[in-house]
Amino acid sequence: MDFLSSILNSMDKPPTLTEREREIKKKKKEIYEKHREAEKERLQRFKERVEKKILSHFEDKNNTMLKFEPMDAVQRSIVHEIAENQNLLSYAFGIDGVDRYMRVYRKDHPPCEDELAARRRGDPWNDEIKQQLLQQRLLEEQEKLESEKSKKKKEKFVPNSNYKDKYAHIIGQEAALEAAKNVETNKSYGFVPSENKKDVRSIEQTMADIKAKKRQKLSHEESTSTC
């Protein structure tokens, strides 16, 4: 213990501030406190001014959006806070430290995704651009539907199974192919071609042929009975 005490006693004590240095330090602290209070009061006045502006603007139901001038990050955070407390939407656009600003919207009239994307890119946006983009989207949708309809018309129906192979295990592959050939026709009723069912004779010729057949039949019966 005595050894430790001797070491501590031998060490140099921290230098004490002179009266002038203490005075300078005190003045710096006072200046800092005054600056902090001034900044606090400035932000409080800014908050009151912004809150009043927002309430007054959106009191009119026809006003759906309010734009602010460029401001720093602290001021933008205050606008976000006020908007949230008033049940409004708030967005920041522009480049931070250059021209970043705030827009506040009613929740029942929010900005669309196209508007947000355009403003974030720094592109202009108004009702005319909105209508043009809407018409373009409708036109693209209509062209897409027409293309799908046209594609469906061009698609050829392909059966899930081949009827020639369906019965091959019963009657054999060759017989199935031969049966398929016999029924593959576009002009047929059942399995008989339509051309074979047409009678091209006139009525008079048909009657004459029937009478001739009857005479031939009677002659044949008479000759048979005579014999």
CATH assignment, 23-124: 3.30.1370.50
Angle at 176 between CA 181 and CA 198, to 5 degrees: 35
Please state the rounded mean pLDDT for residues 121-133.
91
The pTM of this model reads: 0.53
Which residues are within 8 A (CB) of 80 and not within 5 positions of it... i.e. 6 or more apart? Answer: 90, 102
User: Confidence class of residue 158 from pLDDT cuts 50, 70 and 90?
Assistant: low
Angle at 97 between CA 91 and CA 114, to 5 degrees: 30
Q: Which residue has the higher pLDDT, 57 or 221?
A: 57
Q: Strand, coil or helix: what is 88?
A: strand
How many C-beta neighbours within 10 Å does residue 102 have? 22
Q: What is the tens place of the pLDDT at every residue in 24-72?
A: 888 898 899 999 999 999 999 999 999 999 999 999 999 999 999 999 9
pLDDT given at position 174? 58
For the chain, where do the domains classified as CATH 3.30.1370.50 start and end? Answer: 23-124
Mean pLDDT of the chain: 80
Q: Categorise residue 211: left if φ over 0, alpha if ψ from -120 to 50, beta otherwise.
A: alpha
pLDDT given at position 147? 86
pLDDT at 212 over 60: yes
pLDDT at 221 over 90: no
Q: What are phi and psi of 149, to 5 degrees?
A: -65, -45
Q: What is the tens place of the pLDDT at every residue in 167-211?
A: 555 555 555 556 555 555 454 445 555 555 556 667 777 777 788
Task: Say what percent of the chain tops pLDDT 90.
Answer: 41
Rounded Cα distance, 195 and 197, in Å: 5
pLDDT given at position 69? 96
Please give the DSSP secondary-structure letter assigned to residue 193.
E
Please give the DSSP secondary-structure letter assigned to residue 41.
H
- Burial (CB < 10 A; 0-12, 13-18, 19+), residue 82, is buried
